[in-house]
Amino acid sequence: MSLAVRHTQRLERRRTPFLACRADPRFSYCLYVPPRAPAGPLPLLVVVHGDRRTAERYRDSLTDFADAHGCVVLAPLFPAGVPGPEDVLSYKRLRRRDVRFDLVLLRMVEEAAARWPVRADRFLLHGYSGGGLFALRFSYLHPARLVGVSVGAPSSITRLDPALPWPAGIADVAEKFGVAHPLCAPLPLLPPSLPVPVHVTVGALDTRPLRRPLGATRLGQALALHKHLLERGVPATLEVVPGIAHNGFALLPAATRFLSTLLPGG
């Protein structure tokens, strides 16, 4: 065995370095692989960063959860400046020009499953702030790929409204993403077998006014999202965490409590 191969194998244990996505090397991801996990394929939790891009910190904050549940954690990095030099926000809308951020994530999952014993067909998803919007919108476009989704502290939420264009609603998702959401048809509720369980969590003190929507707060947006999802037949739960403002790491215990109920034996 060559020195290069042995070095690569060491890097692939537990906490990996950031790995370039082979489908598009502008993006990368890191993983945590439990060292004493049972035989695979192992469940996968994808955690999506907010606008500060602290992907590695989220991965590291979830190692105890991963060890306890025999779960692999994958944290993508969607760097600022893609596709335009000043672009900071496009990842949360899932598409900008020719970049499909949702498809990039799916390729990362497939690449991880080719190297580790990871279940790639369906996975858990959590995101915070901008990552929470990514997670919510991803669940609308790819429900069959998810076991459940936890949405942390969203701002300008997307509604399952076939009269509003993306990203406010889902009227034009077929044109933008090549998928037809069931709610683009004039149905009052989703079929009971279809919805992805959604967990909405936010700090009780996350009340700083937003620029968009003007005057709204993340607490108010989370409450509105939860109410809207229930009205549309989505099995949604809400957890408002007392004493917390806008802090994604402080919301992780609420998210992982929900996600653990969706894992085998949960």
pTM > 0.85: yes
Q: Sorting pLDDT into bands at 50, 70 and 90, what band is 97?
A: confident
What pLDDT does residue 192 have? 40
**What average pLDDT does the segment 136-141 reach?**
95
**What average pLDDT does the segment 196-220 reach?**
94
Q: Which residues of 52-84 are buried (b: 16+ CB within 10 A; e: fewer)?
A: ebbbeebbebbeebbeebbbbbbbbbbeeebee
What pLDDT does residue 182 have? 52
Residue range 108-123, pLDDT digits in tens: 999 999 999 999 999 9
Structure tokens belonging to residue 259: 């996600």
Residue range 50-89, pLDDT digits in tens: 999 999 999 999 999 999 999 999 999 999 999 888 888 9
What secondary structure letter does DSSP report for 133? Answer: H
More confidently predicted of 175 and 202: 202
